[in-house]
Amino acid sequence: MASVNAGAQHAHNVFGIRHLEPIHHPDHPQHRKNNFDRLYGQADREHMHAKMSRREMLSPIESLHRILEGNRVHSRRVEKFLLEGKMPAEIKCLLLICADARMGGMFRFDDFAKEGIVPVYVAGNVAEVFKNDRMKELLGKLAEKSSIIIMGHSKCGAVHCANEKENFSSDKHRNIHGLLECVHHEEEGNVREQARKLNASKELANARKGKEISVACAFADIVGKTPSIEIRGRAWEAEKSFISRLSAQFEEANRGQVLSESQYAHAVVISDPSCGFDAREIANCGANEIFCISAASSADNAKAVASAEMALAGMLDVHMIASAEYSITHNSTRHIVVVHEEFEKIEAQIIRDSEIIRDAVISGTVEITAMGYNTKTGLLSPLRHLVNQDAAGIAAP
């Protein structure tokens, strides 16, 4: 992703959204923290971490502070790495992974910076995401001998909801229903079905011209005492070795956690997979912190919008977001973060196309923060914060 100029001024409106002056990273030595706190408020970090340990939902301001706190760690890694080398020009492995917040901890910095690994996150890991033009560009960047691995997991909320599609049949839920139409009703069966659809797609056929691209399946088991990831079916030795390494990292990062419980996520982060790092690395988050969604461009992001709706729906509660009171009572995620160079268009699309999110923002249940990511420093810069008073003028299309 091209770095976003955090110094640019945004004075115009999108769907009635007020554009704040750019607010820079509060911990960067060149930026004034009091300006950040003046507009976004202060957060008691000790209290914030205590709430997370109790799985109590953070406020949007607390969530924002937590993301920027973790981003300091990532920025130091980027600074050190750029003194030693540069990012791989080709993608060696694309991983299509469910957006579930419990899937954190399997990647390390070097997986992205040195190994050429790019994860693509979408609820239910549906292969249709590769029909997006920018996703096709990712396929085009695959190395001459490369892999696409589709990874599902136990306790998958999207699969559970696919078995109850009738609960999402109203017009308000049309985005979610459309996504669930692509999801198989059985967890491991869904992985195989997505692999079959991807193998049969013209997008992959075009990418395979002159290249040897394998499609393999993997499955993350989060039910047992020890979380693990295994290859399912045939795979290259290199793919087996890679998944074995991811499994070891996943187990180490989540030792002592009970991942089989319902997921916890203080934020839904929508980011561009082509930026080189995934959102959890950028915010230094492990499992049960953020719900990751990949959006490669501002167009054809229906699956990304549906993924965000599912994340906000009481963490896949079939009642959805009925009101601010319901959301707070049921400890639902209240913060959406858009990290993308086309953040204005993506944010506008979300507000336009999602009645669920639009109502949640207007009611004060959910707030949206747009951020820029600087590829040279690894720093996130909050560019705009959308709260209910800013969205009061948003009208349904």
- Buried b / exposed e along 171-207 (16+ C-beta atoms within 10 A): eebbbbbebbebbbeebbebbbbbbebbeebebbeeb
pLDDT in tens, 50-99: 899 888 889 888 999 999 999 999 999 999 999 887 888 899 999 999 99
Residue 31, pLDDT > 50, answer no
The whole-number average pLDDT for the span 159-183 is: 88
pTM: 0.86
Whether the pLDDT of residue 390 is over 70: the answer is: no
Q: Mean pLDDT, the chain, as a whole number? A: 82
330-348 pLDDT tens trace: 567 889 999 988 888 888 8
Helices (H), 60-156: 60-82, 109-113, 133-140
pLDDT for res 1: 42
Bridge partners of 219?
152, 230
Q: What is the mean pLDDT of residues 38-56?
A: 76
**pLDDT exceeding 90 applies to what percent of the chain?**
49
The whole-angstrom separation of Cα 287 and Cα 290 is: 8
Contact 122, 90 (CB under 8 A): no
Number of Cβ within 10 Å of residue 253's Cβ equals 16
Statement: residue 5 has pLDDT above 50:
no
pLDDT higher than threshold 60 for residue 175: yes
At residue 147, what is the residue type?
S
pLDDT, position 274? 84
Residue 190 has pLDDT above 90, yes or no: yes
For residue 52, which of 61, 63, 60 has the smallest C-alpha distance? 63
170 or 148, higher pLDDT: 148
